Amino acid sequence: MREQADFDQLTLDVPEIVNIPFSVFEERFPELPRDRELVLVSADGQNSLKATYYLMRHGYTKVANMSNGVAKWLYRGFPVKGDPAAFVTASPEGASGCCGA
């Protein structure tokens, strides 16, 4: 859900990650499979939340938003590819974890 330059600087270290920038999401969302579980992630969870609702309105049923996005992922110390210092956002303190947990 992040712009490609931002994604290239820092991304979550997880298998099968796919990036569709929020700026082109409406055009490219049909690329996403309907039969698999999807977790949408943006810098702070706001754009991915909007995209999650968008997908749900378009018939996707296996979709979730990662609350607080990359910011929370970094805060929790989960693995990333790239330079964490390149990522700048508000502190996720007091925010919920992945998918509302």
Binning pLDDT at 50, 70 and 90, where does residue 94 land?
A: very low
Q: Is residue 47 part of a domain?
A: yes
Determine the straight-line distance between the first and last CA of the chain, rounded to whole angstroms.
20
pLDDT at 91: 46
Residue with tokens 């990333």: 80
Q: What is the dihedral of CA 79, 82, 88, 90, to 10 degrees?
A: -10
> What is the domain range of residue 24?
4-95
Return the bridge partners of 80, or none: 12
Q: Is residue 42 part of a domain?
A: yes
pLDDT at 92: 47
pLDDT in tens, 44-90: 999 999 999 999 999 999 999 999 999 999 999 999 999 898 886 54
The model's pTM is 0.82
Return the bridge partners of 81, or none: 11
Residues 26 and 53: their CA atoms lie apart, in Å, by: 12
pLDDT at 86: 80
pLDDT at 89: 56
| CATH code for position 11 | 3.40.250.10
Residues 7 and 90: their CA atoms lie apart, in Å, by: 18
